Every structure is written in structure tokens, then in C-alpha cells.
Amino acid sequence: MSTDGSPTALATEPPPTPEVVFREYAPRIYHLARRMLNNDADAEDVTGEVLMQVVRKLHTFRGDSSLPTWLHRVTVNAALAHREKRASRARHETATGDDSVFDSGPADPPGAVRLSRPKAHHTTADVVLAAEQRAVIEKAVARLSDQFRDVFVLADVEGLANTEIADVLGLSLSAVKSRLHRARLRMRELLAPHFDHPEGDDR
Amino acid sequence: MTPLTCDDLTALLNDILNDEVELHVRAEVEIHLGICPHCGGLVAACRATITVTRALPTCEPPLPADLEARLRKRCGG
């Protein structure tokens, strides 16, 4: 990595073109930002910002093996900075309870959409999510408060290790574990009505 | 070793879900999960939740055409 955190030229492959970056990575950047910020317009701003950063630095890439990791970090940092700016603008408003694990909002009617419980031998790639199932999950994620949603999204959507999350978010490892614990319990609670309930399942 | 309680199990939930339970505790966790339907259900439901949420990035929908056009314009593409 270079001093600014962008990948250094290690291989001899040519750098990816802006079109490749746009086609391959823009949706991932946008959806990650949208999950973290819970807002379409903010996610668009962050995606534009990240894409411009990437395009400016494309000449430093030789091969794109480190590009996804770098993009991930840049997107998370841009989303956090954007949220901070948004919070500053709204600082005259009453702060919400920082320790609340979920935002207020109406609960889904239980069982409105059924989520197929994945089989134990299925890999992640085997799980095909229908649009309405995706919507149920996204809605549950959106109901987590910011601090819990960040950790949950990075751990259980993006698949980062707890140590990586601590590094990206500037938290202690124990804080990451604690927030993830509570976020997972809340997500399980929010999604439980949508899962099929086989024998001996949780009540 | 003292058998685990449900509270112990809940405290270990993250480590269980991350497959990071220390070796000497693993057998006790398995024993408790085998005899306690509540904790067994809790772990199964959390694992199922993680599995479906981890599937999200593998099937991200494409960007809406108007959003894609705005982003391309912004990036000079």
C-alpha cells in the first residue's frame, strides 16, 4: 500500500479502465453506501465521490487484485465522513439515543414474506434471494441504528473479520464484538417471523 | 468443567457464530446446544440470518438506469 492507502503497483498487468471499474464495482459501492447511510441520495453522493477518487488513481494500479479491498475501505470511510457531515448539519436537532439497537419505526407484519432457511451445505453463492426477500432483509438492516448497522453490514453482509472492522471503524475489538452481538440478536428477532420454522426451532 | 448455562451460551454467541470458540469450551457448547432447544434455535436462527444477509452482495441488482447515467456524467464517463 502507498502512503495514502491506495494499492501500489506490484504486478505488470495494465490498470483497469474506468469502464471496467464502473461496470464491476459501482453497484457494490452504491449498495454498501446505501446500507450504511440508509438514504438513496446520500449513497449516490458517496458513490460518485468514490468513483471519482478511483478514476483519478487508476494509473497507480497494475492489475486489480487489491482494488476491491481498497474500494471497500474508501467507500466505508466516505460513508462515515458523509454521515458525520450530515450529523453536523442537523446538530441543532435532538440527538437520538445512542445506545438504542434499532431505530424506531413500524414493525413488519409477521410472516408477510417467507425467507427460505438455507440448507447447511449451501454456500453463500447458492442462496438466491428473490426481490421480496431482499427487501425484507434490507428493511431489517435499515431498522438497526447507525452504530449497530455499520458493524452488522461490515461483518455479516460484507464478510469482514472483526479485527478489520475495528480497524476501519476505529473501534476496539471488544466494542465491535459487543455491537455485533446486539445487532445479530436484533436482526434475528426482526427476521424470525419470516423464516420457516422447522422442528425444534427457536420460539 | 462446569456445564454451560443459557446465559453463558448467549455470551459466547458471537464466538460461536464466528467459529472462534476456544477449543476447551467447544465440547461444552456442543453439549448445551444438543440439550437446550432454546439455545439451539437461537444459534440456528442467527446462522440462518447471517447466511441470507451474506448472500446480498452476491446478487446486487444493477444500478437504476437514471442513477447510472448521473454517476457516469459526474465521473466524466
Q: Locate the chain B residue with the closest alpha carbon to A186.
A: B46
| Sign (positive or negative) of CA dihedral B62, B65, B69, B71 | negative
Interchain proximity B56–A138, CB inside 8 Å: yes
Q: Locate the chain B residue with the closest alpha carbon to A193.
A: B45
CA–CA distance, A36 with A153 (Å, rounded to integer): 7
Listed in sequence order, the DSSP H helices in B1-77 are 6-11, 13-17, 23-35, 37-54, 65-74
Best A36, A151, A184 residue to mutate vs chain B (most B CBs within 10 Å): A184
Largest Cα–Cα distance in chain B?
Answer: 65
Asked if the ipTM is above 0.85, the reply is no
Which backbone phi and psi does A116 adopt, to 5 degrees? -75, 125
Q: For the residues of B12-25, what is the DSSP string, one character each?
A: THHHHHTT---HHH
Q: Which residues of A touch B56 (CB under 8 A)?
A: 31, 129, 134, 137-138, 157
Cross-chain CB nearest to B75 (options A48, A122, A131): A48
Cross-chain CB nearest to A118 (options B48, B58, B68): B48
CA distance A82 to chain B (A): 17
Q: Locate the chain A residue with the closest alpha carbon to B76.
A: A52
Q: Which residues of A touch B44 (CB under 8 A)?
A: 201-202
pTM of the model: 0.76
CA distance A163 to chain B (A): 12
Q: What is the pLDDT of residue A20?
A: 83
**pLDDT tens-digit profile, chain A (203 residues):** 454 555 554 556 677 788 888 888 899 999 999 999 999 999 999 999 999 998 888 877 766 567 787 888 899 999 999 998 888 887 765 555 455 655 544 455 555 566 665 444 445 444 556 777 888 889 999 999 999 999 999 999 988 889 999 998 999 999 999 999 999 999 988 988 887 654 444 44
CA–CA distance, B21 with B15 (Å, rounded to integer): 5
Best A21, A127, A153 residue to mutate vs chain B (most B CBs within 10 Å): A127
Q: What is the pLDDT of residue A124?
A: 47
Q: What is the pLDDT of residue A113?
A: 63
Largest Cα–Cα distance in chain A?
Answer: 56
Q: What is the pLDDT of residue A50?
A: 94
Q: What is the pLDDT of residue A82?
A: 94
Closest-CA residue to A117 (of B57, B17, B47): B47
> How do residues B34-75 score in pLDDT, each as one tens digit?
999 999 999 998 998 888 888 888 777 888 899 999 998 887
Q: Locate the chain B residue with the closest alpha carbon to A127.
A: B55
CA–CA distance, B11 with B22 (Å, rounded to integer): 13
Q: What is the pLDDT of residue B77?
A: 60
